[in-house]
Chain A
Amino acid sequence: MSILLQALLNGVMNGALIAVPAIGFTAIFAVLRYPNFAIAAYATIGAFAAWWVNVHFGAGILPALLVAFAIAGCIGVGAEETALKQLRGAGALTVAIGSIALNTVLENVVRLFFGNDLRGYDLPLVPDWRFMGLRVGPQQLQSLAFAVVIMAAVFAFLRYTRFGKAMRAVADNPDLARLKGIEPAHVAMMTIFLGAGLAGVGGVLIGLDASIDPLLGFRVLLTVFAAAVLGGLGSIPGAVVGALAIGIAEECALLVVPATYRSAVGFAAILLVLTVRPRGFFGERAN
């Protein structure tokens, strides 16, 4: 029983971390209507930016997260403006393929500067806490808390701010938004900044759990995509629910299959959703 509870606990922890980049991915899809797979590189860039200020300037986790958000967001906007924007006229599939190429380029730029070595954040080592037969690391709890606060902040931003409402309006109906004086191009740029920034923050939270390397983002890309598809592409609450479901499913799967099959859970989830409910839990446009 405690093994199952431990798997559920780990699943919730991992799911919450995955939810952050999944929100970024689905927000970009909602407004720009294409899946941006370069989100993996933005996660890696965020993780390395945070590592840089953490190791070289002694920045704590909170300022490192802010740096990761800003750097990944700016790189996301720059990459969108210089590369992906030119492809939009050719359709969503072309932009999606372009984003895979962009991801490879950015990932290799990171490799060029930082090499392939595994790196860890400069944080004190703290033993795991144990209660009722369950183990949990203080760092995991801190990351979970950050993830929850970030998700709450994103929801508050979308629900209560003028710009957040404009983002939802453009995601709902871009032509009508223009008629109401909202400039979709401006909203798109801010959404890219937010989405790439969240991916960067997600990269840090994932890196805090273990270590970072240039493939950090690529390794979680399938899980992030599966979470967004499961929740319904374009639905931000859906991305959170999808990420938690995938996180729990991956951890529970480890109880019966070897760890090497962990990524198969993401594939299985995508296959199942596209077969049974193509629009996911909360989505309207996935098909």
Chain B
Amino acid sequence: MSLLLAKDIVAGYGAAEQILKGASIHVEAGEIVTIIGPNGAGKSTLLKVIAGLVPAREGAILLGDDDVTRFGAVDRTRSGISFVPQERNVFGNLTIAENLEISAYRDSGEASKRIEDLYERYPMLAGKRRDLARTLSGGQRQILAMAMGLMTAPRLLLLDEPTAGLSPRAADELFDAIIALNEGGLPILMVEQHAVEALAVSTRGYVLVSGKDSAEGPGPQLAADPEIRRLFLGG
């Protein structure tokens, strides 16, 4: 049984607009899975559907044994899915400590211990705990956003373009942080614009085209595929 199975997902934003047209993916325990594809293929929409921010018009989403298709975002979070959006992914007017604390809103009894663990893992956050989140740099903000995603002790972490807008060095550091999390046993499903780097560290990858999954394979193998490189990876 897969940790996550999203099957034949049809979804969109407007009444008539369909972004996803039958996309299917799965994530197994311990995997890093990366979704790549051209702009407008529906990569971020698929993550939002899995997170419960955009409803699925058709299809099913199973988290382990649980059918979470009809759950809203709050209940998806309770079920163990944690989504880190690409933009506006921290509460800018709250301090770093408050951002972390509020991220465990449903599980506040464990918040203090988890915050201390995260301060140990990411010392930058500890040093800036009383600063407002809006004062952080792009890379620091992504680290905070990811740390907030961990505050619910998720079964699955969804990352939407975590390195978007970051310098190459900050992006490398973030990839290191993602690998470290996965090595700790956390499955990760991400959409990433730095596709070569992302596929290189991924267990598997999907290519999403026009709202449907068109190819699947081990990450490094997809990254090395000449046709995929030509179409999506800039050569």
Contact = CB atoms under 8 A, between A and B. Distances in A.
> What is the interface residue range for chain B against chain A?
20 to 34
A175 interface: yes
Interface string A143-186: 00000000000000000001001101101110111111111000
27 contacts: A165-B98, A166-B102, A168-B91, A168-B94, A168-B98, A169-B91, A169-B102, A172-B91, A172-B92, A172-B94, A173-B88, A175-B73, A175-B85, A176-B85, A176-B88, A176-B91, A179-B51, A179-B53, A179-B82, A180-B102, A180-B103, A180-B105, A181-B77, A181-B105, A181-B152, A182-B105, A183-B74
A165 B101 contact: yes
Given A172-B92, A176-B91, 5 more contacts: A165-B98, A175-B88, A179-B82, A181-B105, A182-B102
A181 B106 contact: yes
Contacts of B104: 180
Name the residue in B53, B105, B108 with the highest tally of chain A Cβ atoms < 10 Å from its Cβ.
B105
Interface of B: 51-53, 72-74, 77-78, 82-83, 85, 88-94, 98, 101-108, 148, 151-152
A201 B152 CA distance: 38
A230 to B, nearest CB: 19
A181 B78 contact: yes
Contacts of B53: 175, 178-179
A173 B51 CA distance: 16
Name the residue in A162, A168, A179 with the highest tally of chain B Cβ atoms < 10 Å from its Cβ.
A179
Nearest to B99: A169
Q: Which 5 A-B pairs have the closest CB atoms?
A: A181-B106, A178-B73, A172-B91, A181-B77, A180-B103
A177 B73 CA distance: 10
Contacts of A169: 91, 94, 102
Contacts of B101: 162, 165
Interface of A is mostly: helix
A232 to B, nearest CB: 12
Given A165-B94, A181-B78, A182-B74, A176 B89 contact: yes
Interface string A220-258: 000000000000000000000000000000000000000
Given A165-B102, A173-B88, A178 B94 contact: no
Contacts, number: 68
Nearest to A159: B98
A190 to B, nearest CB: 14
Contacts of B72: 178
A180 B108 contact: no
Interface in A118-159: none
Contacts of B88: 173, 175-176
Contacts of A175: 53, 73, 85, 88
A176 B138 CA distance: 17
B83 A162 contact: no
A48 to B, nearest CB: 36
B109 to A, nearest CB: 11
B205 to A, nearest CB: 25
Nearest to B78: A181
Contacts of B92: 172-173
B15 to A, nearest CB: 14
Given A165-B102, A175-B53, A180 B152 contact: yes
A175 B160 CA distance: 15
A166 B85 CA distance: 19
Nearest to B151: A180
Name the residue in B53, B73, B78, B104 with the highest tally of chain A Cβ atoms < 10 Å from its Cβ.
B73
A176 B151 CA distance: 14
A171 B101 CA distance: 16
A161 to B, nearest CB: 11
A182 B93 CA distance: 17
Given A172-B93, A173-B88, A181-B78, A162 B105 contact: yes
